[in-house]
């Protein structure tokens, strides 16, 4: 499932639902979302565990931009979203960041 986006007509934001499927959680007890939209703060955007074992959160993000992000498992292991719109070099390591496009 791709990153779900709902563009609001009443204001220039989109409701973006980020989801990490159960098979990608790898037994983690906590999952959070870190990205440009929250200063890469691993505690700012926790995901809620769903009945099927996946984790999900919805954020309102301004439209007209692209945002880099990654999931963080148990506060330590960083992983990409396999359903991201695209990937870019992180600039910090040899890894890439996931990107959601809201244009």
The proportion of the chain whose per-residue pLDDT surpasses 70, expressed as a percent, equals: 98
Residue range 4-102, CATH number = 2.60.40.10
Q: What per-residue confidence (pLDDT) applies to 1?
A: 55
DSSP character at residue 22: H
Cα-Cα-Cα-Cα dihedral of 96, 82, 32, 6, to 10°? 110
Look at the block and give the residue holding tokens 């692209």. Answer: 66
pTM of the model: 0.93
Q: What per-residue confidence (pLDDT) applies to 93?
A: 81
């Amino acid at each position: 499932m791709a990153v779900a986006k709902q563009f609001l007509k009443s204001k220039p934001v989109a409701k973006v639902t980020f989801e990490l499927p159960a098979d990608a959680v790898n037994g983690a007890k906590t999952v959070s979302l870190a990205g440009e939209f929250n200063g890469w703060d691993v505690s700012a955007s926790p995901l809620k565990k769903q009945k099927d074992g996946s984790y999900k959160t919805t954020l309102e993000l301004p439209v007209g931009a692209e945002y880099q992000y990654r999931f963080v498992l148990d506060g330590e292991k960083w992983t990409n979203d396999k359903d991201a719109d695209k990937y870019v070099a992180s600039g910090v390591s040899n890894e890439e960041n996931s990107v959601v496009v809201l244009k």
